[in-house]
């Protein structure tokens, strides 16, 4: 349960820089990676998977949000939604790999913090 909560919350947080048009790209990537690190930290076990899934789920949420906003203006077709979501998820793969690394780092930080606590 903790794993799922960590992934969903980190994914929801990652949508924030996507919705702000004035956020620089480097800052948005750092924001996403920091959220993936947090997912790995709070997930407990399999931090790398939590980090990667949070990036993928965050991109999917943003894609659904943006397509729904555009669809309200000019009619949303299910095929268009599936095509755009698939393209977005393929494009996000390198960031998911970075998210997995950040999640693994978060899990390592958690293990060390727990080991160092009295």
Could you tell me the pLDDT band of residue 25, with boundaries at 50, 70 and 90? confident
Domain that holds residue 59: 2-116
Q: Do residues 51 and 106 lie in contact, with contact meaning Cβ atoms separated by under 8 Å?
A: yes
SS3 3: helix
Which residue is listed with tokens 């669809």?
Answer: 71
Q: Could you give the residue ranges of the DSSP H alpha helices within 20-92?
A: 25-43, 47-74, 78-91
Task: Report the predicted TM-score, pTM, of the whole model to 2 decimal places.
Answer: 0.84
User: Model confidence over 58-96: pLDDT tens digits?
Assistant: 988 888 887 777 665 666 666 766 777 787 778 888 999
pLDDT value of position 113: 92
What gap in Å lies between CA 115 and CA 118, rounded to an integer? Answer: 8
Number of separate domains in the chain: 1
Q: Do residues 116 and 56 lie in contact, with contact meaning Cβ atoms separated by under 8 Å?
A: no
């Amino acid at each position: 349960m903790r794993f799922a909560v960590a992934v969903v919350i980190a994914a929801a947080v990652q949508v924030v820089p996507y919705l702000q048009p004035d956020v620089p790209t480097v800052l948005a990537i750092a924001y996403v990676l920091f959220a993936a690190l947090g997912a790995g930290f709070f997930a407990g076990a399999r931090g790398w998977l939590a980090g990667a899934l949070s990036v993928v789920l965050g991109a999917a949420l943003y894609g659904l949000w943006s397509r729904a906003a555009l669809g309200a203006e000019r009619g949303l077709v299910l095929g268009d939604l599936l095509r755009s979501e698939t393209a977005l998820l393929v494009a996000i793969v390198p960031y998911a790999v970075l998210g997995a690394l950040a999640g693994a780092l978060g899990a390592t930080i958690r293990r060390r913090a727990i080991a160092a606590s009295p």
